[in-house]
């Protein structure tokens, strides 16, 4: 059964409502979480922040995995043995490129569908969708070596984090939904989406846009 949690961010108090769904999916406060970094984090600055974030719920961030500079394939089996895997924020295009280079797309798909909980924050959440070009709507720059934008395809909608309630962003998101002929969910910071099997729960003030014909 799919168990997915898509966060816009994990930095403000409003995320606690999404966190409660995560705890329900995990089913235990003794869960072990592995962390995949979107890019090199030499001082483990962002990893440390996430470790502190999860500690407030007595969840343990046990493993740091980097795909580009300090890649260690020996960490993959312990990673996929964790109760949950956290996909970090960052540049979505760069993150997808290195997931492809390390041959982790199918393994993550299998994990999410059959093994543990997959947690995505910002870029990590966009990766769960069929294709990641929606990342441009929140300012990500394409990474030229990436030749295909196909994501993990774990859900049947597009996702945009860090939504701002402006007419311009609404127009851009609607245009994307129309172009892709796909429902688009836009999350403000503090919002999230929880997927449990076939049930999709929108948490917070999520913007929902459906494709319209020209």
- pLDDT for 30 equals 83
Q: What is the pLDDT of residues 22-49, one digit of tens each?
A: 999 998 778 999 999 999 999 999 999 9
Domain regions of the chain by residue span: 3-209
Task: Give the pTM.
Answer: 0.96
Mean pLDDT of the chain: 95
Q: Using N-to-C axis directions, what is the helix angle for 105-114 and 92-101, rounded to 10°?
A: 100
Residues 6+ positions from 191 with CB-CB distance below 8 Å: 8, 14, 18, 163, 202, 203, 204, 205, 206
Answer for the pair 47, 86: CB distance below 8 angstroms, yes or no: no
Answer for the pair 84, 33: CB distance below 8 angstroms, yes or no: yes
Domain 3-209 listed as CATH 3.40.50.2300 = no
Q: How far is CA 4 from the centre of its chain?
A: 9
Q: What is the pLDDT of residues 65-118, one digit of tens each?
A: 999 999 999 999 999 999 999 999 999 999 999 999 999 999 999 999 999 999
Q: What is the pLDDT of residues 122-138, one digit of tens each?
A: 999 999 999 999 999 98
Q: What are the CA-CA distances from residue 152 to residues 44, 56, 87, 156, 158 (Å)?
A: 26, 29, 12, 11, 12
* E-assigned strand segments in 8-165: 32-37, 60-66, 84-87, 117-121, 158-160
């Amino acid at each position: 059964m799919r168990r997915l949690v898509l966060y816009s961010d994990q930095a403000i108090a409003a995320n606690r409502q999404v966190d409660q769904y995560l705890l329900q999916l995990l089913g235990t406060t003794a869960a072990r979480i592995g962390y995949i970094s979107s890019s090199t984090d030499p001082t483990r600055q962002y990893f440390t922040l996430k470790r502190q974030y999860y500690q407030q719920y007595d969840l343990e961030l046990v493993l740091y995995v980097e795909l580009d500079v300090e890649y260690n394939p020996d960490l993959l089996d312990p990673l996929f043995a964790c109760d949950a895997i956290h996909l970090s924020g960052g540049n979505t295009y760069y993150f997808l490129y290195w997931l492809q280079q390390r041959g982790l797309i199918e393994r993550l798909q299998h994990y999410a569908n059959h093994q543990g909980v997959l947690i995505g924050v910002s870029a990590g959440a966009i990766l769960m969708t069929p294709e990641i070009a929606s990342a441009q709507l929140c300012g990500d720059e394409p990474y030229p070596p990436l030749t295909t934008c196909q994501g993990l395809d774990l859900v049947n909608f597009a996702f945009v984090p860090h939504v701002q309630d402006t007419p311009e962003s609404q127009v851009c998101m609607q245009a994307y939904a129309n172009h892709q002929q796909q429902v688009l969910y836009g999350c403000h910071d503090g919002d999230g989406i929880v997927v449990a099997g076939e049930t999709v729960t929108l948490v917070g003030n999520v913007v929902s846009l459906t494709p319209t014909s020209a």
